[in-house]
Amino acid sequence: MPKKNPKEIISQSQEAVLVDFYADWCGPCQTMTPILEEVISELGGKIKLLKLNVDKHPQLSQQFGIRSIPHYILFKRGKILWRKGGILTKRDLLNQLKGFV
């Protein structure tokens, strides 16, 4: 299966996709990675996780107005359902996303 580009995944996915805008040099992003993975697995795969490196996808980051990272946007069929920036606790993130599954 060919790897879809992030833009296609965002615009075409029938499932909710949580996009994690991050960079390798970003400490808070690294802190959030295990939290994101735990939350996604607790939601039973109902939300897919797409990690998007802002250094590799500057135009996509710009398109969605990402000015600071980490930043999270939940998409479904290209529409933004929810967005939030910064560090979140696992409980906060889980509670916010539960409303969309």
Please give the Cα distance from 60 to 55 (Å, whole number).
Answer: 10
19 is catalytic: no
CA distances to 4, 79, 90 from 8, rounded to whole Å, are 6, 13, 28
Question: In angstroms, how far is CA 11 from the centroid of its own chain?
Answer: 14
- 6 is annotated as an active-site residue: no
- Among 7, 13, 23, 26, the active-site one is 26
State the Cα–Cα distance between residues 74 and 97, nearest whole angstrom. Answer: 8
What's the CA angle centered on 11, arms 40 and 25, to 5 degrees?
55
Catalytic residue among 17, 29, 32, 88: 29
Residues annotated as catalytic are 26, 29
